[in-house]
């Protein structure tokens, strides 16, 4: 015979599994997005720095 407590336990464990998988996926997607954003900022700063150096050498 199936007990109500067993069903509740299985549902809670299933929900926790889904939560952890969702958290891990969200964490990695956020890290990838942050990495892309940092690369874009770095490229922009490099471009601006190169422009300032060219202006100093060519008055």
- pLDDT score, position 52: 74
- pLDDT score, position 29: 94
C-alpha dihedral, 24 to 27 to 28 to 29, nearest 10°: 120
- pLDDT score, position 58: 63
- pLDDT score, position 59: 57
Name the residue ranges covered by the structural domains of the chain. 24-59
Rounded Cα distance between 1 and 7, Å, is: 11
Residue found under tokens 């889904």 = 18
Q: Which residues of the chain have pLDDT under 70?
A: 56-59
pTM: predicted TM-score of the whole model, two decimal places: 0.60
> Which tokens is 11 given?
């549902």
Q: In sequence order, what DSSP letters do the residues of 9-29 get, joined into one string?
A: HHHHHHHHHHHHHHHHHHHHH
């Amino acid at each position: 015979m199936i007990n109500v407590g067993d069903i509740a336990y299985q549902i809670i464990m299933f929900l926790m599994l889904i939560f952890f998988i969702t958290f891990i996926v969200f964490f990695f997607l956020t890290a990838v997005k942050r990495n892309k954003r940092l690369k874009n900022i770095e490229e922009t700063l490099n471009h601006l720095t190169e422009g300032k150096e060219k202006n100093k050498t060519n008055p």
